[in-house]
């Protein structure tokens, strides 16, 4: 039976064992689904490979929409510790997601929405709300069919809403995790209902290469894939991640032990530039094999690789000039993923300027505790970024960094908290308000130059209570901001904060050299500051790194890096 026949049968059955909400007008086969799972271990680049595949399909002219199904029980990523899960990536609609959504946005050069990121917690929340409202008609609510049914409903609604040719669904975690078993089961059911001709399973596995042995070993990969098969899921394609190029005998072992044809076992070894990965996947035949499974290869041909080659050319640095060194003064400096969008924004600037950028991590907590002097910590850098963050740890160290940059005319770029740090430092050392602070760090500050947003005064708790997502920023004419934004009167950027510049101190700041070149429309909420008398001191209450793209670097980052290059 074809998928459409199975779906019709399920929809018309009266047995009551199925729970498969079908959106009105939905037709099986109109949208195809690629399901991407991981085995052996996490952290092998599943999100990067998934987004690169989407790039390949997009290059062929297909409309592609990615979905990330995340296993954890948080409703969103907003309260996750960056050390445990990397940065929180904020979408334009204000939804807080994990860093993989940033990878998808940068690779596809498009804004995603809350529909593209679904956690277990959000699914359970939906189910409990429906159960309380009696939406399940008195049935006992179970993992099968209700939890799995809600997941299928999410992906089918995305198909209807987006009218995508292909939806790529990445399942977070690793095969064998308890947390994602119901997601795997839901997508097994999806293939059963839609038909194998409409759903393709891709498993990304890891080929170990122990230094003590000096050769690649595939047994862990074989066992991981067999665990997937034991759950009723036969992968159609296997991508083998490895440190060095995949050996032919390893491909053959994987093929033989997993029932996957040899030409569908694809090797992906480490690359220096992840933006070259779509071309690498194209040359390996990855997207071709998927379209063959869907019988779409005749309609959506590759038409050569000129587009992807141009993409690689424009996301590379060929210059041999000495690198620009940028210091990032933060408190999550031991885990680079905590600031990954900043690293990517700097990378985008390096592409535009054809000048490599290196990062020096500066642990602000050590400066705060006088374990290292500011001048020693900053030694050798051409500019400093103070990133966003929450909590008081390391703040005084960041203030010392901001002061040193201002007094020594070192380029300074402040992002969100970095904007507030610049205000506190300026208030203390230029306005001579010695007790200036943010009420986040000192609720009874004598001079609260940074205070709560008015609309946040009565909100308690942490989850989902901030100014979040894309908002318009009104740009002041005749300023540096106006120049770098090509005299645009307004730009749209993404926010994630509760505290702001206290309007009571705006006049004092302006009288002493700060120019507020960006503000909220019709409100005294300052969102960009600059000090024109210095080489470069600029900060934003928003997060410009979240909207920087490989071919379109953020304007503030680009201006900052240009000034860092003037050594």
Residue 250 shares a structural domain with residue 376: no
Is 416 assigned a catalytic role?
yes
Q: What is the mean pLDDT of residues 108-133?
A: 94
Is 275 found in the same domain as 354?
A: no
Only one residue has tokens 């308890």, namely 178
CATH number for the domain spanning 405: value is 3.40.50.880
- Give yes or no: residues 234 and 265 share one domain: yes
Q: For residue 478, is pLDDT > 90?
A: yes
Tokens of 202: 């891709």
> Is residue 274 located within the same domain as residue 339?
no
Catalytic residue among 416, 440, 530, 564: 416
- Answer yes or no: do 424 and 518 share one domain: yes
Residues 334 and 298 in one domain: no
Is 318 among the domain residues? no
**Catalytic-labelled residue, pool 185, 543, 559, 564:** 543
CA 288 to chain CA mean position, Å: 27
Q: 148 by DSSP, 3-state: which?
A: helix
Contact 490, 472 (CB under 8 A): yes
Please give the backbone phi and psi of residue 206, each rounded to the nearest 5 degrees, phi first.
-125, 130
In a domain, 478, yes or no: yes
Catalytic residue at 54? no
pLDDT digits (tens, 9 = 90+) for 186-242: 999 999 999 999 999 999 999 999 888 889 999 999 999 999 999 999 999 999 999
Q: Mark out the alpha helices in 60-180 (DSSP H runs).
A: 82-85, 100-108, 120-132, 148-162
Considering the domain boundaries, does residue 161 fall inside one?
Answer: yes
DSSP letter assigned to residue 143: I
Single out the residue in 278, 311, 344 at which a domain terminates. Answer: 311
- Exactly one of 347, 545, 559, 564 is catalytic; name it: 545
Is 363 catalytic? The answer is: no
Residues 446 and 551 in one domain: yes
Instruction: Specify if 21 maps to a domain.
Output: no
Domain end among 259, 284, 311:
311
Q: Is residue 417 within 8 Å of residue 450, measured between CB atoms?
A: no
Residue 20 domain-assigned? Answer: no
DSSP states along 235-297: -SEEEEEESSPPPHHHHHHHHHHHT--GGGEEEEE--S-GGGHHHHHHHHTHHHHHHHHTT-T
> CA 174 → CA 76, 218, 518, distances in Å?
19, 17, 44
Asked if residue 35 is part of any domain, the answer here is yes
Give 10's pLDDT tier (boundaries 50, 70, 90). Answer: low
Is there a single domain that holds both residue 301 and residue 375? no
Query: Are 124 and 268 part of one and the same domain?
Result: yes
| Total number of domains constituting the chain | 2
Instruction: Please indicate, yes or no, if residue 316 is contained in any of the structural domains.
Output: no
If you average pLDDT over residues 143-154, what whole number do you get?
92
Q: Do residues 248 and 373 share a domain?
A: no
Single out the residue in 311, 341, 362 at which a domain terminates: 311
Asked if residue 18 is part of any domain, the answer here is no
Q: What is the pLDDT of residues 273-332, one digit of tens each?
A: 899 999 999 999 999 999 999 999 989 988 789 999 999 999 999 999 999 999 999 887
Q: Which domain holds residue 180?
A: 3-8+30-311
Checking if the pLDDT of 567 tops 80, the result is no
* pLDDT single digits (tens) 377-410: 999 999 999 999 888 888 999 999 999 999 999 9
Same domain, 344 and 306: no
Closest CA to 426 of 415, 416, 437: 437
Domain with 166 in it: what CATH number? 3.40.50.300
Judgement on whether residues 220 and 356 belong to the same structural domain of the protein: no
């Amino acid at each position: 039976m074809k998928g459409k026949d199975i779906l019709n049968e399920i929809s018309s059955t009266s047995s009551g064992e199925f729970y498969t909400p079908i959106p009105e007008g939905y037709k099986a086969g109109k949208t195809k689904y690629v399901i991407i799972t991981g085995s052996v271990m996490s952290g092998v680049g599943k999100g990067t490979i998934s987004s690169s595949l989407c790039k390949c399909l997009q290059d062929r002219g297909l409309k592609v929409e990615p979905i990330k199904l995340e296993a954890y029980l948080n409703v969103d990523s907003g309260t996750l510790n960056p050390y445990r899960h990397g940065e929180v990536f904020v979408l334009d609609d204000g939804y807080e997601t994990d860093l993989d959504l940033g990878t998808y946005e940068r690779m596809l050069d498009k804004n995603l929405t809350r529909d593209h990121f679904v956690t277990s917690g959000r699914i359970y929340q939906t189910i409990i709300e429906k159960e309380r409202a009696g939406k399940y008609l008195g049935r006992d609510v179970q993992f099968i069919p209700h939890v799995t049914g809600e997941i299928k409903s999410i992906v089918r609604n995305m198909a209807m809403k987006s009218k995508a040719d292909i939806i790529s669904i990445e399942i977070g975690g690793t095969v064998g995790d308890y947390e994602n078993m119901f997601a795997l089961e839901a997508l097994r059911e999806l293939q059963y209902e839609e038909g194998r001709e409409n759903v393709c399973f891709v498993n990304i596995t890891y080929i170990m290469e122990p230094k003590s042995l000096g050769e690649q070993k595939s047994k862990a990969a074989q066992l991981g894939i067999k665990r997937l098969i034991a759950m009723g899921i036969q992968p159609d394609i296997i991508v083998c991640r490895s440190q060095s190029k995949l050996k032919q005998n390893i491909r053959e072992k994987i093929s033989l032990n997993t029932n996957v044809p040899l030409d569908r076992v694809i090797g992906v070894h480490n690359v220096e530039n992840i933006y070259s990965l779509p071309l690498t996947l194209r040359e390996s035949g990855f997207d071709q094999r998927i379209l063959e499974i869907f019988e779409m290869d005749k309609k959506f041909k590759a038409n050569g690789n000129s587009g992807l080659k141009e993409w690689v050319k424009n996301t590379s640095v060929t210059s041999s000039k000495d690198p620009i060194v940028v210091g990032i003064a933060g408190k999550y400096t031991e885990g680079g993923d905590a600031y990954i969008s900043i690293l990517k924004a700097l990378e985008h600037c390096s592409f535009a300027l054809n000048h490599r950028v290196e990062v020096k991590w500066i642990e602000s907590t050590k400066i705060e505790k006088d374990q290292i002097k500011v001048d020693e910590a900053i030694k050798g850098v051409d500019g400093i970024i103070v990133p966003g963050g929450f909590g008081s740890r390391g703040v005084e160290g960041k203030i010392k960094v901001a002061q040193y940059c201002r007094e020594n005319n070192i380029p300074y770029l402040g992002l969100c908290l970095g904007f507030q740090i610049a205000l506190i430092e300026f208030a203390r050392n230029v306005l001579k308000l010695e007790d200036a602070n943010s009420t986040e760090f000192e609720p009874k500050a004598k001079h609260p130059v940074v205070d709560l947003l008015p609309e946040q005064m009565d909100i308690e708790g942490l989850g989902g209570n901030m100014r979040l997502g894309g908002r318009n920023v009104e740009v002041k004419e005749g300023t540096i901001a106006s120049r770098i934004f090509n005299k645009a009167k307004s730009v749209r950027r993404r926010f994630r904060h509760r505290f702001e510049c206290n309007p009571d101190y705006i006049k004092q700041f302006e009288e002493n050299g700060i120019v507020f070149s960006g503000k909220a429309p019709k409100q005294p909420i300052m969102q960009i500051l600059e000090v024109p008398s210095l080489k470069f001191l600029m900060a934003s209450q928003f997060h410009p790194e979240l909207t920087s793209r490989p071919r379109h670097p953020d304007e503030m980052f680009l201006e900052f890096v240009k000034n860092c290059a003037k050594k």
